[in-house]
Structure 1
Amino acid sequence: MTFELTPRTGPGATVVTAAESLVTTFAERAEAADAENEMCRENFDDLFTSGISSAFVPQELGGFGLESIHDWTLAIATLARGDASTAIAITMHHAIARRMAQIYSLANTDLGPDHELTRDLAAPLRKMASGEMLVCATATEIGTDNLHPVTEVVRHRHGDRDGWRINGQKIFVTMSPIATHVSTVARLRDDDGDNMANIVLPMDTPGLLPQNDWDALGMRGSGSQSVVFKDAWVPESALSRIGPWGKWSLKYLEFRAIANIVLVGAFLGIAEAAYDIALAKLLTRSRVGQLAAEQSGIQNLVGEMALELAQCRAVLGAAGVQMDEYCERHSTSAASMEDAHGLMNDYQTAKWTVNRGAIGVVSKAMDLLGGSGYTNSHVLGRLYRDVRAGPFMQPFGPAELREYVGQVTLGQYPER
């Protein structure tokens, strides 16, 4: 395959190999999950057994010790060749695990050891490795963007404990039907003004209300229901400040760029699956005595697919390498806001390229197979519906994406 992506690190190779072992099994289960609009719990059992769900947990705590963003993206692309819904769902958990592992590792170095923080983070990381903790994540709300959440936390005393109370609603809470915890962002109002806060709560928290309302065109096995927070108690230990509400902060820019580029990998995986399905069929199909693969029109269309796929791989692979280099470069020294906007710009460039290219590849695969692919029960029908989810995933939608890339290219770095 032209520009085929390969792992760059040892832990990455381990995770990708584990993902490859699950592709066929996931593909066999995907049709039923799609038809029933339900998450395939067996897939997540396999992700745990294979070690993929705890990929970012440090080795001394029971995980693979994955650090490479490039290799993480490749692993998700590999899983998506079997079932994209499962692939995007596990990225939510991975993103939180990666951040915890990163803070744990920094607190465990000679540069500035923090034994209390190391101990506090080791506990949830061990639970992730043992399968006791599976975290879904969401930032999306109706009628606003990721920088201006309406969901709000305010000071509240619960018995003899000081803490917070959260109210609001989040949508696209992917993987929430089977998660043990949810990570979300909210507007924090106190004497210091309006801030963004990250909150991690158990899914069985009183006042945390799953809505069981997921019924979408595609990604039907992702469990991306809405969740309502109604006076849910938030202890101090479950909340951390990110930065000012309504503005990009360095921490939030970095986190969103790194966590979300991996989702782009899922759409590359969808395109690769559609490409393989179409080619396998064309090499055995004949029409009027001529093998389909020998027909010039089909050869031209397949050539276009191969070129689009190569472009997707090349850009996404390069973006993954750049993110790895960014993380290494700034592991012990803070980046500037301009650096972080450059990182987000790399993600947006990859998102634009892969989303458009993947839709094109899947659409051409359907053209090549004809009417047989135009059914909900056919795998191409599912891939076509799934691949359409890519462009509107935040940040950013297509219109905002072009504006953002233009701003960064011109050195007009947006605050919001």
Structure 2
Amino acid sequence: MNSIIERLRPATDAGTALCAAVDREGEFLARRAQEHDAHGTFAAASVERLKELGVLGACAPVADGGHGLYSLHDLTLLVSRIAAHDASLATAVSMHLALSWYYARTVHCAPADELPGLPEARWLAAMGRDGMVVASTVAEPGLPAWQVETEATADATGWRVTGRKAMVSLSPVATHLYTRMKVLTEDGPLLGSAMIPVDSPGVSVLDDWDGLGLRGSGSGRVVLDQVPLAADAIRVRGPWGARDTAAFEGRAASSAPLAGIYLGIAEGAAAAALRRYASVKNPSAGLQNLVAELRLSLAALRGTLHTALGELHTGLADRAPRSLAADEGSRLLEACVLASLVTEREAIAVVDRAMQICGGRSFTAGHELARMYRDVRAAGFMRPYAPPEEWVDFIARTATTPADRTANTPVET
């Protein structure tokens, strides 16, 4: 049974085993986290350790060497367990894990006769058998995901893709780039996606990430210069430049593991603060108040996220991607946005109070809370709707239904 008093617990055997494996490696991961944060280097050795534990193949079928994890709740908790030791590492692998869960959902919901030719089935198998590592290569500075400027142009053999991508976490060790692009056609631009092998001609991975926080996440840039793709390699998602309501549920599912990062940071910070508090023989009223407020924030975070994850899994697990009605997808994205914002705000509050409990030493370079203080601030740039006007508009707009607005229209007299 899950409790807001203790850490949330995985609900499946696969989730339980993977979370336990990560916890056993906590000392190694935390030690390397400090090193990578100090020097701004990618956490390559820690990613390799997670691969050895089977974390990157979590969602791959057991028959292909994976764990068959198909619980969005447990996947998010797995990310949180990693983040409690190293938020940079959790950020890097969360992108890969979110995509792998999306592929597993596609396979889970597909008719049996379609499975042999399903790309997602091949990708999952490769994650389990061959160590395939996928970096989400979507973001471009200042542009929403449906208005990316990376272009795919048709040629005699297929396509050529050219563009520049930013914030490509995990890219230094990725074998493949799951990329979104503007597909130029005779009928106008369309939004498309493709899986691009990193060793393709024209792909340049720039290990140039130098962030204020999450310094070990490898979130650098990727340059695509006339990268050749086969004619059938691009999957068209819809019109380019228009917000696609059919993608709402996919955005919600992919954002859930990101919330796990901030749950993990909060739990790591709380653990550090409570170790300090336990060493104080006669705590003052002020110190006791800080501990109580910290625990309230942690309880609010856990309870909200646990409820949202249950709602997301119920709404998505047995429904094929892009098959939900617009209002259903909007409702699930609303739940994700609300939970993400509560998680962000309460995690920041937990870290702030943890630093006050531990005192000035926590504000020095090399202290774990100083690292968490910077890492947790990245949450504001990783919401399902990141710009302030976007999430405010969305939450306000979904507060009432069209029927509510019609029923409450003032009657002219």
For normalisation by structure 1, the TM-score amounts to 0.90
- 1:97-122 alpha-carbon deviations (Å, 9 max, x no partner): 2232233333463xxx225315x544
**SS at 1:67's partner residue?**
coil
Question: Residue in 2 aligned with 1:304?
Answer: 293
Q: Which moved more, 1:240-249 or 1:22-31?
A: 240-249
Give the conservation status (yes or no) of the 8 Å contact 1:15–1:52. Answer: yes
**SS at 1:204's partner residue?**
coil
Residue 336 of structure 1: CA displacement? 0.3
**SS at 1:200's partner residue?**
strand
Residue 296 of structure 1: CA displacement? 0.7
Counterpart pick for 1:380 among 352, 369, 373: 369
Give the conservation status (yes or no) of the 8 Å contact 2:109–2:318. Answer: no
**SS at 2:66's partner residue?**
coil
**SS at 1:114's partner residue?**
helix
Question: Residue in 2 aligned with 1:341?
Answer: 330
Counterpart pick for 2:77 among 52, 74, 77: 74
Q: Distance in 2 between matches of 1:214 and 1:332?
A: 32
1:223 to 1:70, Cα distance in 2 relative to 1, 3 A: same
Question: Residue in 1 aligned with 2:94?
Answer: 91
Q: Distance in 1 between matches of 2:122 and 2:150?
A: 28
Q: Distance in 2 between matches of 1:362 and 1:172?
A: 24
1:337 to 1:122, Cα distance in 2 relative to 1, 3 A: closer
Residue 280 of structure 1: CA displacement? 0.2
Give the conservation status (yes or no) of the 8 Å contact 1:22–1:82. Answer: no
Residue 279 of structure 1: CA displacement? 0.9
Question: Residue in 2 aligned with 1:288?
Answer: none
Question: Residue in 2 aligned with 1:169?
Answer: 164
Counterpart pick for 1:59 among 57, 62, 78: 62
Residue 409 of structure 1: CA displacement? 1.6
**SS at 1:388's partner residue?**
helix
Question: Residue in 1 aligned with 2:132?
Answer: 133
**SS at 2:381's partner residue?**
coil
Give the conservation status (yes or no) of the 8 Å contact 2:146–2:240. Answer: yes
Give the conservation status (yes or no) of the 8 Å contact 1:3–1:314. Answer: no
Unpaired stretches in structure 1, ≥5 consecutive residues: 286-290
Matched, 1:406 2:388: no
1:237 to 1:86, Cα distance in 2 relative to 1, 3 A: farther
Counterpart pick for 1:295 among 266, 284, 294: 284
Q: Distance in 2 between matches of 1:238 and 1:251?
A: 21
- 1:149-201 alpha-carbon deviations (Å, 9 max, x no partner): 111212122xxx2x111122111000101111111211112134322111211
Question: Residue in 1 aligned with 2:224?
Answer: 229
Question: Residue in 1 aligned with 2:184?
Answer: 189
Q: Distance in 1 between matches of 2:237 and 2:22?
A: 33
Matched, 1:33 2:28: no
**SS at 2:279's partner residue?**
coil
Question: Residue in 2 aligned with 1:275?
Answer: 270
- 1:293-318 alpha-carbon deviations (Å, 9 max, x no partner): x2110000111110011001111111
1:394 to 1:227, Cα distance in 2 relative to 1, 3 A: farther
Which residue identity lines up with residue 176 of structure 1 in the other structure? S
Which residue identity lines up with residue 403 of structure 1 in the other structure? D
- 1:212-252 alpha-carbon deviations (Å, 9 max, x no partner): 32111000000000112121112234321122222333542
**SS at 1:409's partner residue?**
coil
**SS at 2:171's partner residue?**
coil
Question: Residue in 2 aligned with 1:266?
Answer: 261
- 1:4-32 alpha-carbon deviations (Å, 9 max, x no partner): 31112232222222222222221121100
- 1:250-283 alpha-carbon deviations (Å, 9 max, x no partner): 5422221101121111011001101110110121
Give the conservation status (yes or no) of the 8 Å contact 1:91–1:263. Answer: yes
Q: Distance in 2 between matches of 1:141 and 1:154?
A: 18
Give the conservation status (yes or no) of the 8 Å contact 1:242–1:251. Answer: no
Question: Residue in 2 aligned with 1:214?
Answer: 209
How many residue pairs get aligned? The number is 399
**SS at 2:100's partner residue?**
helix
Identity %: 33
**SS at 2:193's partner residue?**
strand
Q: Distance in 2 between matches of 1:9 and 1:339?
A: 26
Question: Residue in 2 aligned with 1:352?
Answer: 341
Question: Residue in 1 aligned with 2:409?
Answer: none
Question: Residue in 2 aligned with 1:204?
Answer: 199
Give the conservation status (yes or no) of the 8 Å contact 1:22–1:79. Answer: no
Q: Distance in 1 between matches of 2:64 and 2:17?
A: 17
Question: Residue in 2 aligned with 1:150?
Answer: 149
Unpaired stretches in structure 2, ≥5 consecutive residues: 404-413
Q: Distance in 1 between matches of 2:355 and 2:109?
A: 48
1:328 to 1:176, Cα distance in 2 relative to 1, 3 A: closer
Q: Distance in 2 between matches of 1:98 and 1:104?
A: 10
For normalisation by structure 2, the TM-score amounts to 0.91
Residue 45 of structure 1: CA displacement? 1.8
Give the conservation status (yes or no) of the 8 Å contact 2:205–2:221. Answer: yes
Which residue identity lines up with residue 123 of structure 2 in the other structure? P
Q: Which moved more, 1:390-399 or 1:54-63?
A: 390-399
Question: Residue in 1 aligned with 2:17?
Answer: 14
